[in-house]
Every structure is written in structure tokens, then in C-alpha cells.
Amino acid sequence: MITPYEILEVAEDAGDSQIKKAYLGMVRRYPPERFPDDFQRIYRAYELIKTEDDRLAYRLFHCALPTPAEIAAVLLQSVAKKEPQSREEFLKQLGADLRGGCSGLVL
């Protein structure tokens, strides 16, 4: 459900060269030998919008029935999914958990 533009992180009015540049950047970030699945996703996205004709065909004829998980992914996109990056962040989250969670403690 995530559009190829979103996968390649380019604007919908981006040109061939911008898209190619974004694609190559993505391939550098997700090399196929280390991230085969991500690479496949990126490659497929690039193939869909590589040229002006491809983009037009995508806009006119492309449709793919999303799975419930893909719809969920659209909603989860906005959620920052990252493990804690610092001690402070970790302890802040832990504190919030404990403040909300001690009431349920049954000894």
C-alpha cells in the first residue's frame, strides 16, 4: 500500500534523474546481499516509476488490492518505531511504564 514514491522517498512530481538518484541511494543503504527483501521492494518500486511513461502508466492503470497488514502499515508509518537510543530515553520510557503499571502489581 505504500507507494513506490514513498519507498524511494521522492516527490510524486520527481523526474527520471531524481528517481534514479534516489534509487541508487536506496540501493547503497540496502545492498541486496545484506537486505535482499528490502532491495527487492526498492527495485520493484523503481521499475514502476522509472520513466515518465512508467509513471503515467502507474497513475492510470496500477492498482493492487492491499492486505490488512498493508493497510495497518499505512497507519503504523507515522509511529516512530525505534529502540531507545540513549540511557535517558530508555529510563524516561521505563518511568512512564512503571507509573502506569504499578497499580496492577499483585504480590
Partner 1 sequence: MANKKSKGRDQRHKVASLGALPVHEVLAKGHLFLTQEKYQDAILCFKQLLKQQESPEILQALEQAYLGRIGSLAAKSMAKEAMALLEIVVERWPHADVLSLKLSLLLQAGRFVEAVQFHGQCRKQLASDVRQRLEALFGALLLAGVGGLRLEDFPGDSPVAGYYPAALSAMDAVFVRQEERGQDALKQISFRSPYRDLRTLLTGLLHFQSEKDLGCSIIRKIDKDSPYFRAAARCLATVDTPESFLQNLAAAPKNEQYQLCGQYGVNPSQFPVFEALSGSDGRPLGLYKIASRHGNCFTKGQRMLLLRNILPFCGEQALTFLGRSTDFTSIEKNRILALAAEKDGATHSAVKFWEDYLGNSDWSDTLRHKEIAMVLRHQAKLQKKVEYAYSPVHVLDTMLKSLEYEPSHAETWLEAAEYAKRHFSASRSYAIVNDAVAKLPENVPILVAAMQACGARNAHKKASGLAKRILEIDPINTSVLDFLVESRLEHGRKLASQKKWLPAEKELQSADTRVKALRYRGRHRICLGMVLLLQGKEEGLPHIAAGKEENGSPLFGHVLTSLESRLYKLPKGRHQEFDRQLRQLEDSAPTIDRSEFLRLINWLLSFDGEQGVMLKEVCQCLTNFFAKAAILPWSRDEGLLICKALEKAALIAALTKASATLQKNYPEDLEFKVWSLVAGTRKGKKRVPMQVFDKLEDLLYQLERKNRLDFVDYIEEILDKGRNHRSSTFFGVEDDLDDIFDFGPFIIPQVTESGEKSPTKPKAKPVRGKQFNLFDDEL
Nearest to 15 by CA among 49, 38, 65, 59: 49
Integer angstrom CA distances of residue 50 from 63, 75, 76 = 17, 27, 27
> Whose Cβ is closer to partner 1: residue 24's or residue 90's?
90
> Whose Cβ is closer to partner 1: residue 24's or residue 95's?
95
Cα 47–41–14 angle (5° rounding)?
A: 50
Can you tell me the distance from the alpha carbon of 100 to that of 77, in angstroms, rounded to the nearest whole number?
26
Least separation in angstroms between CB 59 and partner 1: 8
> Whose Cβ is closer to partner 1: residue 11's or residue 72's?
72
Task: List contacts with partner 1 (CB under 8 A).
Answer: 1, 3, 52-53, 56-57, 60-61, 63-76, 79-87, 90-95, 97-99, 101-103, 105-107
Least separation in angstroms between CB 5 and partner 1: 11
